[in-house]
Structure 1
Amino acid sequence: MNDLMTKSFTSYVDLKKSAMKDQDLEAGLEHELQMQSVQQSDHNLTSFLHEAELVKTEMNSIRETLVQLESANQESKTLHNPDALKANRRQINGDIVTVLKKAKTIKARLEEMDRANAESRRLSGCKQGTPVDRTRTAVANGLRKKLKELMMDFQHLRQRMMSEYKETVGRRYFTVTGEEANEEVIEKIISSGTDGQGGEEFMSKAIQEHGRGKVLETVVEIQDRHDAAKEIETSLLELHQVFLDMAVMVEAQGEKMDDIEHHVMNAAHYVNDGTKNLKTANEYQKQSRKFKGKKSWPELVGASGQVAVDVIERENRRVDAFIVEEGSIVTTDIRCDRVRVFVNGNNFVKDVPKIG
């Protein structure tokens, strides 16, 4: 969805530039300043959309790494050799470090996009509620929503890894002692390892019943899994903290996106602004037809009040005409109140009475 929005907005920018180039240039300096403002806002919007694409690329990369982490976690369940467990732990930690770096980059990019949006609202034609501002806001909110989903996926992975680790410890405990370990015993082993109080009780009981040699390999495996779980848990907590730093902002934006009343009020505001803009555009269109020349009507018609006129224009129609006297015109087939006349290359508009 975000990809379609971004491509549509990019096409909108290109079409808008093309349309502005085709507009009438008779407005002079005012039109030129307006064009510069539009070009600046379009350039800023294009840069913003490019930045959004970079953020989406980073998120997709994190999503791929998440799949690798889940695969490595599944693989760890079948490993018993200490060296294999250590290699698996290094792979998982390496992936988490990579995700951590990318998450910090995404956080910085989103914060920069927010600052850019605030700066953009200061430009003419980009104020709050304008199409450009709504475009930027929609893209930023879409990225935050996608980031929130990514945060939840990593949180679920973290919870699942710790839950599966508890199950593994319980199975190993049963293998050595022949008894089901209760939650308290498992928590003691997880919190302190085989060197802690829970681990000492576990080893003492296992050695008494089965002998040291038989349980040593299982105990070493449990200790390796404990070390790996603690290291991974630390890395995942650090990653989760980065996500939490953005959680408040994501939630606040999400509530605003889901606020129907807020959207209805904004829609009414946008419609009113659109009506005003249409009226303003209509006025600009009328003004663009006027010629701001140096010569006045008396100068053009001359002292005698009679002068030949090349053509007379009413809207898109042109007919041959002559000015008979100031304030009156005679044409072959038009009676009009306002005309545009061309005299020796000069162009101006004059109000004249109709001739019966």
Structure 2
Amino acid sequence: MNNLLTNSFESERDIEMGYQNSKNKSDYGLEDFFQEVQEIETLLDKMSNINHKLQEANEESKSVTKASEMKAINKRMEKDINEVGKITRTIKVKLEEMDRNNLENRKKQGCEKGTGVDRSRMSMTIALKNKLKERMKNFQNLRQIIQDEYRQGVARMVFTVTGEQPSDQVIDHLIETGSSEQIFEKAIQGIGRGQIFADMATLVDAQGETLNDIENQVQNAVDHIQRGTGELRTAKRLQKKSRKCMFIAIIILLVIAAIVVLSILKPWAK
């Protein structure tokens, strides 16, 4: 699965550009490019695996009965979420470097803007950015699910102890401060899961804005190309119409000239 995206684009580009061996790919700068793509795909897969681990940890936390078990789960979740942050920053740096390399590669003969090589590099780069955005969206959704279930769990625990349904303000206060430690400390606050996911939300929002800007730039480029194509077709139609009118005008002039000559010479009079 890791190689599907790379292989599909690589095969398509081989056909379009007529590559015969790996040396040709290296000449066009694609060998190093495909290596960069593979590294990013590996990191994206790692993000998906961590997301799955967090889901499992969240389900496991619902059935624990000991504070020590809850603390261990929270530690695992904290470690995994920190790892996601590191991976996301690494991918972002690699994508920014890939953008710079794409522009630099256009200086090579046969790799100019709009060529098959350039289009392949740009398409694969955009695909990777979209995959990163998708991964971040998945983490955002997971964060919301865990937060909602977390609050519900706190409400149930308060009701069990006090016999009253707590208000949202009470729940927020307990989560933020870790009050009533003898009842909730380990299970509710643990090692600060609420703050961990708040930090994660900030990371998601920041990455989402960056990738939305990228999508807008790509869409603008597509719109420019489509408008240019339409204008070119219109120009061709006008050119054909102009040639047709000129041809008819020449025929009319020749007919008029023939009539004038015949009227002057009057060969029938002889």
* Structure 1 position 244, deviation (Å): 4.2
Contact 1:85–1:225 (Cα < 8 Å) also in 2: yes
Give the unaligned 5+ runs of structure 2: 234-270
1:176 aligns with 2:178: no
Task: Provide TM-score, normalisation by structure 1.
Answer: 0.57
1:77 aligns with 2:77: no
What is the number of equivalent residue pairs in this alignment?
Answer: 229
Give the match's secondary structure for 1:85: helix
Instruction: Pick one of 202, 212, 216 that aligns with 1:251.
Output: 212
Q: Deviations over 1:191-241 (max 9, x none)?
A: 2221xxxx5xxxxxxxxxxxxxxxxxxx5351113332x623333444444
Match of 1:56 in 2: 41
Identity %: 30
1:181-192 matched pairs, under 5 angstroms: 181-192=166-177
Give the match's secondary structure for 2:104: helix
Greater relative contact order structure (CA < 8 Å, 6+ sep): 2
* Structure 1 position 52, deviation (Å): 0.8
Question: Which amino acid is the alignment partner of residue 64 of structure 1?
Answer: N
Match of 2:187 in 1: 225
Question: Which amino acid is the alignment partner of residue 108 of structure 2?
Answer: L
Question: Which amino acid is the alignment partner of residue 130 of structure 1?
Answer: T
Match of 2:7 in 1: 7
What is the alpha-carbon root mean square deviation over aligned residues? Answer: 3.0
In structure 2, what is the Cα distance between the partners aligned to 1:189 and 1:233?
11
Match of 1:163 in 2: 148
Contact 1:2–1:142 (Cα < 8 Å) also in 2: no
CA gap of 1:124–1:245, structure 2 versus 1, over 3 A, is farther
* Structure 1 position 266, deviation (Å): 6.5
CA gap of 1:9–1:154, structure 2 versus 1, over 3 A, is closer
Contact 2:155–2:171 (Cα < 8 Å) also in 1: yes
* Structure 1 position 147, deviation (Å): 0.7
Contact 1:85–1:224 (Cα < 8 Å) also in 2: yes
Q: Deviations over 1:96-128 (max 9, x none)?
A: 222222222212211111111111122222222
1:262-341 matched pairs, under 5 angstroms: 262-265=224-227
1:127 aligns with 2:112: yes
Give the unaligned 5+ runs of structure 1: 20-35, 200-218, 272-356
Give the match's secondary structure for 2:19: helix
Give the match's secondary structure for 2:178: helix
Contact 1:41–1:126 (Cα < 8 Å) also in 2: no
In structure 2, what is the Cα distance between the partners aligned to 1:159 and 1:5?
30
In structure 1, what is the Cα distance between the partners aligned to 2:215 and 2:199?
24
In structure 1, what is the Cα distance between the partners aligned to 2:145 and 2:8?
39
* Structure 1 position 58, deviation (Å): 1.0
1:16 aligns with 2:18: yes
CA gap of 1:10–1:121, structure 2 versus 1, over 3 A, is same
CA gap of 1:39–1:179, structure 2 versus 1, over 3 A, is closer
Bigger fraction of residues in strand: 1
1:88 aligns with 2:73: yes
Bigger fraction of residues in helix: 2
In structure 2, what is the Cα distance between the partners aligned to 1:125 and 1:53?
24
Task: Provide TM-score, normalisation by structure 2.
Answer: 0.73
* Structure 1 position 84, deviation (Å): 0.6
Give the match's secondary structure for 1:17: coil
